[in-house]
A = this chain, B = another copy of it.
Amino acid sequence: SLHRIKASGLKLQLCTNETQATRENFVRKLRAMGFDISVAEVTAPAPAACRLLRERGLRPHLLVHDDLLPEFAEIDKTNPNCVVLGDAAENFTYANLNEAFRLLIGMEKPVLISLGKGRYYKETDGLKLDVGAYMKALEYACDVQAEVVGKPAKRFFESALAELGVPPEQAIMIGDDIVSDVGGAQQCGMRALQVRTGKFRPSDENHPKVKPDAYVNNLAEAVDIILQQL
């Protein structure tokens, strides 16, 4: 499907909330699986967070997955004045959470930046709490609202559109997550298709707030429809 999109001359940007690996490693995995994708074609939360940190002169304390650390290599992390939270997985220890909390509560105005707000995800050994759950824990403890830089943040989609160099009305989002993918893209002025694969659940079709522009059974069908309408 990716190949057919590219062959048609359409531009493609992959929007992921992956925060357990650098874009480089993420792309390497995808390429190993046969997907023809380059790092420049990936929009991910960590680079978005780095842009935000630079713009605002913020020095983060990182509570993220070890494999994500290289994305922040160029960022000044001395004397932190904010906390950046990713899906830290095994790094979500009692000690690390207390450390992040103490830094936040010690700030005059706590700044918590979250690379996503997912509730949970599935791995081969079962469901796992996602970064959003830990974000809520710190938000509550510090009485602060996190700034989310991953999907469904409007900023995130805007940055993907900027990479593509197209206005929102000329872009279509295809995703399996009714809120993060479909809702986020629509908020940004894009049309959005929901695939009935992956995270899709039948109850999504009665979602109280988000209604996709169309449902498709899978990515191949989404591409069929888009190419037919060119």
Residue positions of A touching B, CB distance < 8 A: 89-90, 92-94, 97-98, 101-102, 105, 119-120, 126-130, 132-134, 136-143
Q: Are A101 and B89 in contact (CB under 8 A)?
A: no
Which of B90, B94, B137 sits near A136, CB closer than 8 Å?
B137
CA distance A119 to B93 in the complex (A): 17
Q: Are A97 and B129 in contact (CB under 8 A)?
A: yes
Which of B105, B127, B136 sits near A105, CB closer than 8 Å?
B127
CA distance A36 to B220 in the complex (A): 74
Which of B94, B127, B141, B143 sits near A130, CB closer than 8 Å?
B141
Chain B residue with the shortest CB-CB distance to A127? B102
B residues less than 8 Å from A94 (CB atoms): 89-90, 92-93
B residues less than 8 Å from A98 (CB atoms): 126-129
CA distance A133 to B90 in the complex (A): 18
B residues less than 8 Å from A137 (CB atoms): 129, 133-134, 136-137
B residues less than 8 Å from A128 (CB atoms): 98, 101
Q: Are B133 and A138 in contact (CB under 8 A)?
A: yes
Q: Are A139 and B141 in contact (CB under 8 A)?
A: no
CA distance A101 to B136 in the complex (A): 14
CA distance A120 to B101 in the complex (A): 9
CA distance A130 to B105 in the complex (A): 13
B residues less than 8 Å from A130 (CB atoms): 141
Q: Are B140 and A133 in contact (CB under 8 A)?
A: yes
| A16: min CB distance to chain B, Å | 20
Chain B residue with the shortest CB-CB distance to A126? B102
B residues less than 8 Å from A136 (CB atoms): 136-137, 139-140
Chain B residue with the shortest CB-CB distance to A142? B119
| A143: min CB distance to chain B, Å | 7
Q: Are B127 and A132 in contact (CB under 8 A)?
A: no
B residues less than 8 Å from A97 (CB atoms): 92, 129
| A29: min CB distance to chain B, Å | 23
| A54: min CB distance to chain B, Å | 30
